[in-house]
Amino acid sequence: DVKVTQSSRYLVKRTGEKVFLECVQDMDHENMFWYRQDPGLGLRLIYFSYDVKMKEKGDIPEGYSVSREKKERFSLILESASTNQTSMYLCASSLEGPSYEQYFGPGTRLTVT
Amino acid sequence: AQSVTQLDSQVPVFEEAPVELRCNYSSSVSVYLFWYVQYPNQGLQLLLKYLSGSTLVESINGFEAEFNKSQTSFHLRKPSVHISDTAEYFCAVSLRGGSNYKLTFGKGTLLTVNP
């Protein structure tokens, strides 16, 4: 059974803290993605990675960075968390190519106070 | 750039009634089309997709969607819904032949099935 796991389901951080969200997939997928999901806005792509150490900006990269040192692990980093980064964060992975489905993790609900 | 419009943000229906969730897309190049479903407190999972061939595609739980190229639509339908179909549904597109593998999602339609 394919699986994408995220390090936390719920996270509460203070403004200005550095936050790490971890994602691990066990399917040997080339592509990995980070989205944020907000009510009424759907899913918006933050960053994606198509290979180890390779990354591309998505639609809303400001305030975020990513790291992919191993194929199975993709980390999202909030360098200095702000209240407008309170959101649901979803990680996904897929095989290489636009026709392949993305497999999603359960999400991390981050609250920044 | 491509875009996806889901015309209804919320669709309430009674159990055993038919339902249609509407999706229109805009793109200058050919696309692949997807419907994803998100049950409460879960991540998204693929419901069905259109890649090529027959324009009518079906899922294992009774949903179907039809690709209409002239109307740039990919509406999702089910003839008789169950309480367990209550979820948020997202339409998405990716570009054929693109090196950018990202999906562009619509804003979602919350389907609520009432007894």
pLDDT of B29 reads 85
Domain count, chain B: 1
**Does B94 contact A at CB distance below 8 Å?**
yes
pLDDT of residue A112: 98
Q: Can you give the CATH number for the domain in which B44 is found?
A: 2.60.40.10
pLDDT at B9: 95
**How high is the pLDDT of residue B99?**
61
pLDDT tens string for chain B (115 positions)? 789 999 999 999 999 999 999 999 998 888 899 999 999 988 999 999 999 888 999 998 899 999 999 999 999 999 999 999 999 999 999 888 766 677 899 999 999 999 9
Q: Which domain holds residue B21?
A: 3-114
Q: Which helix (H) or strand (E) holds A36?
A: strand A31-38
Q: How far is A104 from chain B (nearest CA, A)?
A: 6
- B43 and A48 within 8 Å at the Cβ level: the answer is no
Question: How far is it, in rounded angstroms, from Cα A25 to Cα A105?
Answer: 9
**pLDDT digit string (tens) for A53-112?**
899 999 999 999 999 999 999 999 999 999 999 999 999 999 888 778 899 999 999 999
Report the pLDDT value the prediction gives residue B44, as an integer from 0 to 100: 94
Mutate to test the interface with B, among A1, A30, A36, A43 (most CBs of B within 10 A): A43
Instruction: Say whether A42 and B46 touch across the interface (CB within 8 A).
Output: no
With CA atoms as reference, the chain B residue closest to A38 would be B107
The angle at the Cα of A22, spanning A77 to B95, to the nearest 5 degrees, equals 80
A19 vs B53: which has the higher pLDDT: A19
pLDDT at position A41 over 70: yes
% of chain A residues with pLDDT over 90: 82
> What pLDDT is recorded for position B98?
63
Residue A92 CB coordination number (10 Å): 26
Going by C-alpha positions, the residue among A70, A88, A85 that lies closest to residue A26 is: A70
How many Å is the Cα radius of gyration of chain B? 14
Average pLDDT over residues A37-62: 92
Question: Which residue ranges make up each domain of chain A?
Answer: 4-98+106-112
Q: Is B82 on the interface with A (CB under 8 A)?
A: no
Q: How many CB pairs under 8 A join A and B?
A: 59
CATH of domain A4-98+106-112: 2.60.40.10
A21 contacts on B by Cβ (under 8 Å): none
A40 chain-B contacts, CB cut-off 8 A? 9, 107
Amino acid A96: pLDDT: 82
